[in-house]
Amino acid sequence: MAQFSHLDESGQVRMVDVTEKLVTVRTARARGRVRALPETLALIQTEKIAKGNPLEVARIAGIMAAKNTAGLIPLCHPLGLTHVDVRCELTREGIELEATATAEGKTGVEMEALAAVSVAALTIYDMCKAVDREMVITEIRLVEKTGGRSGHYLRKD
C-alpha cells in the first residue's frame, strides 16, 4: 500500500517536514484549457468582452494565485517564488493555458503552477460567462517538473 506523506503514523493529517531537504532550484509547468463557443472566442479576439481583456486579466490572476497557493491549499508550504509566467493563447476550440513557476527551496512548485492555471481558467470563465455559460474548464495537468530528490518529470502525452 502507498505511503502518503501528509499522514503521520496514526493516520492524522500533517504538513510534511521539509527541514532536512536540500534547497534546489525547482520548476513546474502546468497546462489547462477552456473550451468556448466560436462566438465567444471571436469576442475575445476582437476585444469586445464587456469586462475587458479576459486573457490579460487571467494572466495576472494566475500569477496572483501562484503567489498565494499556500493560502488556498491547506498543507502546501509557503514558498518564495522567484518567477511565475502564465500564458493564455486563443485556439479554434478555446483558450490554451500554461503556467510555469520557479523557486529555490526545499519543496516543489507543482501546486503553484497548477493553481495558476486553475485560477486563470476560472477568471476567463468569470469574464465571459455573460456571453457563454457553455464553457468547459478541462485538462488541467502537470506537464513538467524539475529539481528536488525525485528529479525531472515530463508528461508523456
**What amino acid positions are annotated as catalytic residues?**
126
- DSSP state letter for 7: B
Say how far apart CA 59 and CA 107 lie, in whole Å.
Answer: 24
The answer to whether 28 and 101 have CB atoms below 8 angstroms apart is: yes
Q: How far apart are CA 119 and CA 156, in angstroms?
A: 24
Residues 6+ apart with CB under 8 A from 87: 59, 97, 98, 99
